[in-house]
Amino acid sequence: MSRRPESARPGQPRLGAVPGADGVVFTVWAPAQRELALVIDGRPDIRMTPEPEGYFTTRVSDVREEDRYWFRLAQGLRPDPVSRFQPDGPFGPSMVVDPHAYRWRTRNWTGAAPRHRQVIYELHIGTFTMDGTWTSARERLPHLASLGVTTLEVMPIAEFDGRFGWGYDGVFLFAPYHGYGTPADVRGFVDAAHAAGLGVILDVVYNHLGPSGNVLHEFSPSYFADETEWGQGFNLDGECSGPVRHFMRENVRHWLEEYRFDGLRFDATQALIDRSPIHIVHELTDHGRASVAPRRIYLTAENERQDASLVRQSDTDSGVDSLWNEDWHHSAVVALTGRREAYLSDYQGTAQEFASMARSNLLYQGQWYSWQKQPRGSDSRHHPHAAFVCFLENHDQVANIGTGRRLHHGVDRGKWRALSTLLVLGPSAPLLFQGQEEAVEQPFTYFADHQPPLSDLVQRGRVEFLSQFPSLSSQEVRERLPVPSDEEAFKACRIDWRTTTAGQEARELYTDLIALRHADPVLSRLGTREVTVDSSAPTADLVLVRYTAGEDARLLLINLGALTCCAMNDPLFAPDQHHRWELVFCCEQLKYGGDGVHTSFTEGRWRLQAHCAWLFRSTRPDESVDL
């Protein structure tokens, strides 16, 4: 296949079933078909008109919302590749959905928070509640609003085959998964979130489609090109790539405009193989912002190689607003668990690593990475700190532990509180994974409802992936690993939100930390040019991060080790002239499940509790702070 990049052409059509004043226009790209017919339940076939570039279209005046339809191909009846809803799943008919039928109640919503104000909360609709629906998730919105997060990041919802799954095997990218509810339920959730002051962004997968229920290749094999680790990727730069890129642009517009999502998270962008002059990520971000301007949206991405060229420096640039910082997670897991294996083996979990990331964002910026036997990362020193998202947990990393046990159940709780403090009060945007804020007991494992032989292949692939961890490679451990297609294992991941002492303590901690980040006049400007970040690691266990905004300063101190009397031999300890450090926060307060605040910070060496974090503000001697 040639590699002739194709740019977007003006006047490319809206895809799928698009209601209008004169009926519904049905448009599909199907250059592999010589002729095409629209089949609406109970009616004779309607021949579609061929258009340039392989499109087929027809207008039908007497079609109603919720009417079911198919396209008749040479191979038989197939759903619409741009179906807005598959009420019976990927093998059933498509349904006409009018995006203007929903009456939005929140009319004064201006869009996502600026990236430096982001506190993100990742959730999976199918396990966020016991019912696993948009309606039941909507009932939890007051809980999330009172926690203080700004943006909900919803794992993929594109229609997939099966009763349960993570969503990364979607096959109808425009259709919300029928098992979670209707398109109106999705809009109702977004509407209610906006009313509660919460933004909602959607995780989208453009690097492959799922293995079961995908019909795109029957409409055109030109949809696909290079193989990725999950299957065939989209044709982004070869012959006929123009309509494929248009399909992807339309999908971005669809979620942002028709559902009013406040942004997107682009999954595994390292697998988007594109040699075009303009990379597809930049094209999609530009198109998304233009589609809903002037409403602000927030776009973030995962990139295993941590390619910072995808990230915009300023608000006028192309690219995503932020990139997931996997380095921060890996260092944190090693610090908490000591597991230096597989892709964690190049991390030590030391204070130096966290101090380096506080100052320079990514830890690996092109230096040698032993695990992959190649350089890793890219220069991120000149990006704003808000251009990176840090986390203790996300869906991938919890499941990659093997049994899916949550991090807070297997580590020293004091050190977990300390790193939670560094996460939320650190310079980058923090992300929490569902239930982290209440230290929930439910695990989160990899689940996918496939049937044999596909289910067997998925299981073998999962075991093979986890075998990179020596601690998970024994036969005894393998027998304990959850089977992805096991419905009971999936149900075990559903959060029941029962009240526990540990949960109340964790919620107090995160609520107070997030409130500090929002309300403090220095912390609230983290990630902007108004705040200077300095950091150091005076010992292997002590992290110092100092924020300066004009004449105001904050000092974040983390002790990852044992109780110590700290030598004050680091200039970051020095308060400004005629000022002193006043304690604002300590993660060992009793209400957080700690041992209490045992330390006074007066003249002399500071006596630092083990596994603890503190925040100080620079004050004049006549000022005081109530802890």
DSSP states along 533-598? EEEE-SSSSEEEEEEEETTEEEEEEEE-SS-EEE---SGGGPPPTT-EEEEEEETT-GGGTS----
Q: Considering the candidates 122, 153, 218, 302, report the single residue annotated as catalytic.
A: 302
1 and 215 in contact (C-beta within 8 Å)?
Answer: no
| pLDDT the model gives residue 627 | 58
Please tell me the pTM assigned to this model: 0.96
Mean pLDDT by 10 residues, the chain (627 residues): 38 91 95 96 93 95 94 96 98 96 94 97 98 98 98 98 96 98 98 98 96 95 84 90 96 98 97 94 97 97 96 92 98 96 95 98 96 94 96 95 88 97 98 98 96 90 87 84 93 97 98 98 96 97 97 97 92 92 96 90 87 95 64
| pLDDT the model gives residue 466 | 87
| pLDDT the model gives residue 2 | 30
| pLDDT the model gives residue 621 | 77
How crowded is residue 430: how many other Cβ atoms within 10 Å of its Cβ?
24
148 and 259 in contact (C-beta within 8 Å)?
Answer: no
Element (H, E) at 158: strand 158-159
| pLDDT the model gives residue 624 | 61
- The 3-state DSSP class for residue 218 equals helix
Buried b (16+ CB within 10 A) or exposed e, 508-542: ebbebbbebbeebebbbbbbeeebebbbbbbbebb
- CA nearest neighbour of 411 among 389, 395, 392, 427: 392
| pLDDT the model gives residue 403 | 85
- The 3-state DSSP class for residue 341 equals coil
Peptide bond preceding 453 in cis form (omega within 30 of 0): yes
The tokens of 554 are what?
């904050």
How crowded is residue 462: how many other Cβ atoms within 10 Å of its Cβ?
19
Cβ neighbours for 166, distance < 8 A, ≥ 6 positions apart = 124, 155, 156, 395, 446, 447, 448
Q: Considering the candidates 267, 283, 321, 396, report the single residue annotated as catalytic.
A: 267
| pLDDT the model gives residue 354 | 98
Helix 413-425 to helix 326-337 angle (10° resolution) is 160
The tokens of 172 are what?
């109808």
How crowded is residue 228: how many other Cβ atoms within 10 Å of its Cβ?
16
The tokens of 139 are what?
């009932």
- CA–CA dist 419, 434 (Å, integer): 17
Active-site residue flag, 302 = yes
Domains of the chain: 115-208+252-510 (3.20.20.80), 532-619 (2.60.40.1180)
| pLDDT the model gives residue 601 | 83
